[in-house]
Amino acid sequence: MAKRPILIHPDPRLKSEAAPVGSVSGEIKALAADMLETMYDAPGIGLAAPQVGVLSRLLVMDCVKEEDQPPRPMVLVDPQIVWSSEEQSVYEEGCLSIPDQYADVERPAEVEVTWTSLEGGACSERFSGLWATCVQHEIDHLDGRLFIDYLKPLKRQMITRKMVKLKRERARA
Ligand SMILES: [Zn+2]
Protein backbone atom coordinates (compact mmCIF):
# COMPACT_ATOMS: atom_id res chain seq x y z
CA MET A 1 0.00 0.00 0.00
CA ALA A 2 1.13 3.51 -0.71
CA LYS A 3 -0.29 6.96 -0.27
CA ARG A 4 -1.07 8.75 -3.53
CA PRO A 5 -1.01 12.49 -4.14
CA ILE A 6 -4.48 14.08 -4.15
CA LEU A 7 -5.26 16.38 -7.08
CA ILE A 8 -6.27 19.92 -6.13
CA HIS A 9 -9.03 21.81 -7.98
CA PRO A 10 -8.86 23.18 -10.64
CA ASP A 11 -7.65 20.17 -12.63
CA PRO A 12 -9.22 18.82 -15.85
CA ARG A 13 -9.16 15.29 -14.39
CA LEU A 14 -11.56 16.46 -11.66
CA LYS A 15 -13.99 17.65 -14.33
CA SER A 16 -13.96 14.43 -16.39
CA GLU A 17 -16.40 11.56 -16.41
CA ALA A 18 -14.77 8.36 -15.14
CA ALA A 19 -15.07 5.07 -17.04
CA PRO A 20 -16.77 1.94 -15.63
CA VAL A 21 -14.39 -0.56 -14.02
CA GLY A 22 -16.25 -3.71 -15.07
CA SER A 23 -14.36 -6.72 -13.76
CA VAL A 24 -12.11 -6.04 -10.76
CA SER A 25 -8.42 -6.49 -11.58
CA GLY A 26 -5.46 -6.72 -9.22
CA GLU A 27 -4.62 -3.19 -10.26
CA ILE A 28 -8.02 -1.95 -9.06
CA LYS A 29 -7.59 -3.81 -5.74
CA ALA A 30 -4.20 -2.16 -5.24
CA LEU A 31 -5.68 1.22 -6.13
CA ALA A 32 -8.51 0.74 -3.59
CA ALA A 33 -5.99 -0.11 -0.84
CA ASP A 34 -3.91 2.96 -1.74
CA MET A 35 -7.02 5.16 -1.76
CA LEU A 36 -8.09 3.97 1.70
CA GLU A 37 -4.62 4.68 3.07
CA THR A 38 -4.63 8.11 1.40
CA MET A 39 -8.11 8.92 2.74
CA TYR A 40 -7.37 7.90 6.35
CA ASP A 41 -4.06 9.76 6.27
CA ALA A 42 -5.56 13.01 4.93
CA PRO A 43 -7.79 12.59 7.04
CA GLY A 44 -11.06 12.41 5.13
CA ILE A 45 -14.27 10.34 5.06
CA GLY A 46 -14.38 9.70 1.32
CA LEU A 47 -12.16 9.64 -1.75
CA ALA A 48 -12.92 8.98 -5.42
CA ALA A 49 -10.41 7.60 -7.93
CA PRO A 50 -10.35 10.76 -10.11
CA GLN A 51 -9.00 12.62 -7.05
CA VAL A 52 -5.82 10.55 -7.34
CA GLY A 53 -5.78 10.98 -11.12
CA VAL A 54 -7.39 7.67 -12.11
CA LEU A 55 -10.51 8.09 -14.24
CA SER A 56 -12.23 4.86 -13.11
CA ARG A 57 -15.57 4.57 -11.30
CA LEU A 58 -14.25 3.59 -7.89
CA LEU A 59 -14.64 5.25 -4.49
CA VAL A 60 -13.76 4.55 -0.88
CA MET A 61 -15.42 5.89 2.26
CA ASP A 62 -15.69 5.50 6.00
CA CYS A 63 -18.10 7.83 7.76
CA VAL A 64 -17.82 6.29 11.25
CA LYS A 65 -17.32 9.30 13.50
CA GLU A 66 -17.73 7.82 16.98
CA GLU A 67 -14.34 7.05 18.45
CA ASP A 68 -15.61 3.98 20.28
CA GLN A 69 -16.93 2.45 17.06
CA PRO A 70 -14.77 0.23 14.82
CA PRO A 71 -13.87 1.73 11.42
CA ARG A 72 -15.92 0.66 8.41
CA PRO A 73 -13.76 1.00 5.31
CA MET A 74 -15.98 0.64 2.24
CA VAL A 75 -14.88 0.20 -1.37
CA LEU A 76 -17.53 0.78 -4.06
CA VAL A 77 -16.80 -0.24 -7.64
CA ASP A 78 -19.14 1.13 -10.34
CA PRO A 79 -21.60 2.60 -7.79
CA GLN A 80 -25.02 3.75 -8.95
CA ILE A 81 -27.76 5.63 -7.15
CA VAL A 82 -30.93 3.66 -7.82
CA TRP A 83 -33.27 5.55 -5.49
CA SER A 84 -33.24 8.97 -3.77
CA SER A 85 -35.59 10.20 -1.05
CA GLU A 86 -37.74 13.25 -1.67
CA GLU A 87 -36.68 14.49 1.72
CA GLN A 88 -33.58 16.67 1.46
CA SER A 89 -30.89 17.39 4.02
CA VAL A 90 -28.21 20.04 4.24
CA TYR A 91 -24.64 19.27 5.27
CA GLU A 92 -21.62 21.50 5.39
CA GLU A 93 -19.38 19.75 2.87
CA GLY A 94 -15.68 19.86 2.27
CA CYS A 95 -13.43 18.03 -0.17
CA LEU A 96 -9.84 16.76 -0.06
CA SER A 97 -9.38 18.31 -3.53
CA ILE A 98 -10.55 21.71 -2.23
CA PRO A 99 -8.66 22.01 1.08
CA ASP A 100 -10.06 24.13 3.94
CA GLN A 101 -13.16 25.27 2.05
CA TYR A 102 -16.60 24.34 3.36
CA ALA A 103 -20.14 25.15 2.27
CA ASP A 104 -23.71 23.96 2.83
CA VAL A 105 -25.01 21.64 0.13
CA GLU A 106 -28.56 20.28 -0.09
CA ARG A 107 -28.98 16.69 -1.27
CA PRO A 108 -31.49 13.86 -0.87
CA ALA A 109 -31.43 12.72 2.77
CA GLU A 110 -31.43 9.03 1.83
CA VAL A 111 -30.19 7.13 -1.21
CA GLU A 112 -30.07 3.51 -2.25
CA VAL A 113 -26.84 2.59 -4.00
CA THR A 114 -25.81 -0.52 -5.88
CA TRP A 115 -22.18 -1.38 -6.57
CA THR A 116 -19.70 -4.20 -7.15
CA SER A 117 -17.45 -5.33 -4.30
CA LEU A 118 -13.72 -5.92 -4.71
CA GLU A 119 -14.55 -9.64 -4.73
CA GLY A 120 -16.87 -9.04 -7.68
CA GLY A 121 -20.14 -9.45 -5.76
CA ALA A 122 -23.27 -7.34 -6.34
CA CYS A 123 -24.00 -5.11 -3.33
CA SER A 124 -26.77 -2.73 -2.41
CA GLU A 125 -27.40 -0.54 0.62
CA ARG A 126 -29.62 2.32 1.70
CA PHE A 127 -27.56 5.16 3.15
CA SER A 128 -28.76 7.99 5.38
CA GLY A 129 -27.21 10.83 7.38
CA LEU A 130 -23.57 11.61 6.72
CA TRP A 131 -23.14 8.36 4.74
CA ALA A 132 -25.81 9.50 2.25
CA THR A 133 -24.15 12.87 1.77
CA CYS A 134 -20.70 11.31 1.43
CA VAL A 135 -21.67 8.65 -1.11
CA GLN A 136 -23.46 11.26 -3.27
CA HIS A 137 -20.47 13.64 -3.05
CA GLU A 138 -18.10 10.83 -4.10
CA ILE A 139 -20.31 9.56 -6.96
CA ASP A 140 -20.44 13.17 -8.18
CA HIS A 141 -16.64 13.02 -8.49
CA LEU A 142 -17.03 10.06 -10.87
CA ASP A 143 -19.18 12.31 -13.07
CA GLY A 144 -16.72 15.21 -12.94
CA ARG A 145 -18.85 17.19 -10.50
CA LEU A 146 -17.58 18.96 -7.37
CA PHE A 147 -19.57 20.21 -4.37
CA ILE A 148 -18.75 23.80 -5.32
CA ASP A 149 -20.74 23.26 -8.54
CA TYR A 150 -23.86 23.47 -6.32
CA LEU A 151 -22.88 26.93 -5.03
CA LYS A 152 -23.68 30.32 -6.48
CA PRO A 153 -21.19 31.30 -9.24
CA LEU A 154 -19.64 34.10 -7.21
CA LYS A 155 -18.86 31.82 -4.26
CA ARG A 156 -17.57 29.11 -6.60
CA GLN A 157 -15.27 31.55 -8.36
CA MET A 158 -13.97 32.85 -5.04
CA ILE A 159 -13.07 29.33 -3.90
CA THR A 160 -11.50 28.49 -7.28
CA ARG A 161 -9.32 31.62 -7.11
CA LYS A 162 -8.14 30.57 -3.63
CA MET A 163 -7.25 27.11 -4.95
CA VAL A 164 -5.30 28.55 -7.91
CA LYS A 165 -3.34 30.62 -5.42
CA LEU A 166 -2.80 27.61 -3.14
CA LYS A 167 -1.49 25.51 -6.05
CA ARG A 168 0.86 28.29 -7.08
CA GLU A 169 2.21 28.53 -3.53
CA ARG A 170 2.63 24.76 -3.28
CA ALA A 171 4.44 24.64 -6.65
CA ARG A 172 6.90 27.24 -5.40
CA ALA A 173 7.49 25.52 -2.05
ZN1 LIG B 1 -14.62 15.54 -2.78
Helix (H) or strand (E) holding 32: helix 26-41
Instruction: Give residue 1's pLDDT.
Output: 77
Residues 18-46: pLDDT tens digits? 999 999 999 999 999 999 999 999 999 99
CATH number listed for the domain at residues 12-172: 3.90.45.10
Q: Tell me the CA distances in angstroms from 76 to 33, 98, 149, one per residue in order.
A: 12, 22, 23
Ligand 1 geometric centre to CA of 160 (Å): 14
Determine the distance separating the centroid of ligand 1 and the alpha carbon of 97, expressed in angstroms: 6
Q: Between the CA of residue 112 and those of 67, 73, 79, 132, 168, what are the distances in Å?
A: 26, 18, 10, 9, 40
| The model scores a pTM over 0.85 | yes
Q: pLDDT (tens digit, 9 = 90+) per residue, 86-142?
A: 999 999 999 999 999 999 999 999 999 999 999 999 999 999 999 999 999 999 999
Averaged confidence pLDDT in the chain: 97
Q: With 80 as the cut, is the pLDDT of residue 7 above it?
A: yes
Q: Of 142, 141, 134, which Cα lies nearest the Cα of 110?
A: 134
Name the active-site residue from 17, 27, 119, 138: 138
How far is the C-alpha of 51 from the C-alpha of 71, rounded, in Å? 22
pLDDT for position 67 = 87
